[in-house]
């Protein structure tokens, strides 16, 4: 399917709503042909899907036709796509591991089929939890052990003498044991408050956590903190735990290291019972190089699902890159999204590594200054772009309540605009420049040298009407080799001065104050959604490091120490309290889905930032020592204002210098480009939010 752009006349391509896109951003007009061309390719892909499978609905049900399908009469049909294979066999417990006595029949277009009739007693020849393998005979007559790309359940060997290669097992429980859903899926949140989490590290014990433990112990925490959505990482099966789930080996198998498929369903069902929207961190940007338990060289060739080298290899990630122009690869990936939506009831998706999918350079060695020429040139990978357009188009057809998020650092225009406009169709993109900015400031500058205007620019510099997910730090900043914001601020004394019984510490006081201010400033000004990585809400100490050869397979840093937030004698509670109250304030006043905040003050000498959004007025004093009585600020509406959130409150680790009960009266005087003026007291290193009472 690749190469279509050379045959498309952009002047003849109708893009239904391109005028909307061009009217909002006239600078895109000179690139109109590029936008029309990629939309033309998108339409040609849909036409080929209609011709091949009837429609996109049929096309995206690949899991109903490929892999191991057991019907209601216990008849087994096995189909695989292995265009480079010479012969194909199925082996396993069912045939005493004879590698060649159960051959597939070769069909057209690289497809293979095998039918196993029920046993004489009517039972299924492939028993629940029994093991199977695909045997691929290549052109040299070699027999290669493989797992089906469509495998829905794979497990680690329990006996390490068997090696570390995952095993494919049949997941076909008795009908009475099939998981029964109890709760409806929630509507997509108007305000998206995301708790990014990883099931395996969600226990405080030195081991891998489970789906059921997460459902029982962590979901209630998330609800109490005021989040309305979770983003689950590391769900798609990955043989290497330390990859954080980003080197996927079995795309249709939910990771068995945390439990069974039904136990993942119970986790999601529990989340839905609490009204929590569940996002899957989906990795379609690349795949593990594993051959025996991955997709790599499945049919004995170095292509199949991937481009052949060098195009099919990611030089930095040491992984394989999909051939998005191939009909069967598209079927595999689009069906994969639908599988998680239908089988596990995931509500939405966060797409990992989108920048790599958009450009032939994979985003490496490109600065992305923001000049539009960087987004419309020969470096752009039309096949990757059109795959993402198809994915978003399909998901929105299947479920109007779906939310999709792009991890894109390049800032390509139109990523978060509808496909009908010529965009890629995502709802949000991650505001990846924000955490980079905070870490850079903490690494290189004292806070007395921070530039208020520069900070506001980074937080507000995003495309109009392309929504962004703001965050101070995600899992990336927590990994070993880097530090969390809390650790950058307080690592010297986090082991000795976080007790409320310990002597006052300027380092800890500064750290808690700035941690709270950084989070609220990002939350209020940085985007149309907010994300926090698990544990960062209470300043989790240390970094995150999975068990691996380099640390003697230790789980010491692959866990979350929840007791730190729960201990009333520790100061972690202050950070945790602040996180919860920020969420509760957003729940009440709902600023995320509104227009971006209007910054009315960026005073470099006073270190003051003031902005208003959704009627709330946010005031920040980053000065290290100066507090300001009767400081004039501009406010959008006339009336009496009250303090509704104040980081100087004792419950947030502050010094209680503000009386939140004192009303503030606006004057009908134009100030700082706002129609009204108000005088406020702003202590040093404090964030305050005001709401109009009357």
* Tokens (6 digits) for 395: 């998901």
- Residue 35 CB partners (closer than 8 Å, separation 6+): 15, 18, 21, 28, 414, 422
- Selecting among 237, 407, 447, 466, the annotated active-site residue is 407
First to last CA, the chain: 62
Buried b (16+ CB within 10 A) or exposed e, 232-271: bbbbbbbbebbbbbbbbbbbbbbbbbbbbbbbbbbbbbbb
* Tokens (6 digits) for 517: 């201010």
Is 352 catalytic? The answer is yes
Residue 154 to residue 148: CA distance in whole angstroms: 10
Angle at CA of residue 152, ends 351 and 154, nearest 5°:
100
Residue 235 to residue 233: CA distance in whole angstroms: 6
Query: Is residue 450 left, alpha or beta, with left meaning phi > 0 and alpha meaning psi from -120 to 50?
Result: beta
Q: What is the CA radius of gyration of the chain?
A: 27
Sign of the Cα torsion 159, 162, 165, 169 reads: negative
532: nearest Cα among 541, 522, 543, 542: 522
Cβ atoms of 403 and 428 closer than 8 Å:
yes
Is 659 catalytic? The answer is no
Sign of the Cα torsion 37, 387, 300, 102 reads: negative
* Tokens (6 digits) for 633: 């600020």
- Selecting among 269, 347, 352, 542, the annotated active-site residue is 352
* Tokens (6 digits) for 692: 């109009």
Sign of the Cα torsion 45, 46, 51, 53 reads: positive
Residue whose structure tokens are 């039904």: 262
Query: Is residue 411 left, alpha or beta, with left meaning phi > 0 and alpha meaning psi from -120 to 50?
Result: left
Cβ atoms of 635 and 652 closer than 8 Å:
no
Task: Give the active site residues.
Answer: 352, 407
């Amino acid at each position: 399917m690749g190469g279509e752009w050379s045959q498309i006349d952009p002047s003849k391509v109708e893009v239904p709503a391109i005028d909307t896109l061009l009217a909002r951003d006239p600078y895109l007009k000179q690139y109109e042909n590029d936008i029309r061309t990629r939309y033309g390719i998108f339409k040609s892909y849909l036409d080929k899907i209609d011709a091949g499978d009837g429609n996109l609905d049929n096309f995206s049900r690949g899991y109903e036709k490929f892999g191991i399908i057991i019907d209601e009469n216990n008849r087994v049909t096995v189909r695989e796509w292995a265009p480079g294979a010479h012969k194909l066999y199925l082996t396993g417990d069912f045939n005493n591991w004879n590698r060649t006595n159960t051959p597939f029949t070769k069909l057209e277009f690289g497809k293979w089929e095998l039918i196993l009739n029920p046993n004489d007693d009517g039972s299924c020849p492939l028993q629940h939890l029994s093991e199977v393998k695909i045997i691929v005979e290549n052109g040299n007559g070699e027999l290669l052990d493989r797992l089906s790309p469509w495998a829905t359940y794979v497990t680690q060997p329990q006996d390490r003498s068997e090696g570390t290669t995952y095993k494919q097992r049949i997941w076909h429980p008795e009908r009475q044991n099939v998981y029964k859903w109890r709760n409806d899926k929630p509507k997509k949140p108007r305000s998206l408050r995301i708790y990014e989490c990883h099931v395996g590290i969600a226990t405080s014990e030195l081991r891998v956590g489970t789906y059921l433990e997460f459902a029982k112990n962590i979901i209630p925490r998330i609800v109490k903190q005021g989040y309305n959505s979770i983003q689950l990482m590391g769900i798609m099966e990955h043989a290497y735990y330390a990859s954080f789930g980003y080197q996927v080996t079995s795309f249709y198998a939910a990771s068995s290291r945390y439990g069974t498929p039904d136990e993942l369903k119970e986790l999601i069902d529990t989340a839905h019972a609490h009204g929590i929207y569940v996002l899957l961190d989906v990795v379609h940007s690349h795949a593990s190089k594993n051959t025996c338990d991955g997709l790599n060289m499945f049919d004995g060739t170095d292509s199949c699902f991937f481009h052949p080298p060098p195009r099919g290899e990611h030089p930095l990630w040491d992984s394989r890159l999909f051939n998005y122009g191939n009909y069967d690869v598209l079927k595999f990936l689009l069906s994969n999204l639908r599988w998680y939506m239908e089988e596990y009831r995931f509500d939405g998706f966060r797409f990992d590594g989108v920048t790599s999918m958009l450009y032939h350079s994979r985003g490496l060695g490109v600065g992305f200054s923001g000049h539009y020429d960087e987004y419309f040139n020969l470096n752009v990978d039309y096949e990757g772009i059109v795959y993402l357009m198809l994915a978003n188009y399909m998901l929105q057809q299947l479920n109007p309540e779906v939310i999709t998020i792009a991890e894109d650092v390049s800032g390509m225009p139109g990523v978060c605009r509808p496909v009908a406009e010529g965009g890629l169709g995502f709802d949000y993109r991650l505001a990846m420049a924000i955490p980079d900015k905070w870490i850079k400031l903490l690494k290189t500058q004292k806070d007395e040298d921070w530039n208020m205007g520069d900070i506001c620019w980074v937080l507000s510099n995003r495309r109009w009407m392309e929504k962004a997910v703001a965050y101070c730090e995600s899992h990336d900043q927590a990994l070993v080799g880097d530090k969390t914001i809390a650790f950058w601020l307080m690592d010297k004394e986090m082991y000795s001065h976080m007790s409320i019984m310990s002597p006052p510490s300027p380092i800890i006081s500064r750290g808690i104050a700035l941690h709270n201010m950084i989070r609220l400033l990002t939350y209020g000004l940085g985007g149309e959604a907010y994300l926090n990585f698990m544990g960062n809400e209470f300043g989790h100490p240390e970094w995150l490091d999975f068990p691996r050869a380099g640390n003697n397979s230790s789980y010491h840093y692959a866990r979350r120490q929840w007791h730190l937030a729960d201990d009333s004698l520790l100061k972690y509670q202050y950070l945790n309290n602040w996180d919860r109250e920020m969420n509760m304030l957003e729940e009440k006043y709902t600023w995320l889905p509104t227009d971006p905040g209007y910054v009315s003050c960026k005073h470099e000498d006073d270190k003051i930032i003031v902005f208003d959004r959704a009627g709330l007025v946010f005031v920040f004093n980053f000065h290290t020592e100066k507090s300001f009585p009767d400081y004039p600020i501009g406010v959008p509406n006339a009336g009496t204002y009250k303090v509704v959130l104040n980081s100087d409150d004792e419950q947030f680790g502050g010094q209680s210098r503000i009386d939140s009960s004192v009303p503030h009266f606006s004057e009908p005087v134009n100030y700082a480009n706002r129609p009204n003026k108000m005088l406020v007291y702003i202590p040093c290193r404090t964030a305050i939010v005001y709401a109009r009472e009357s």
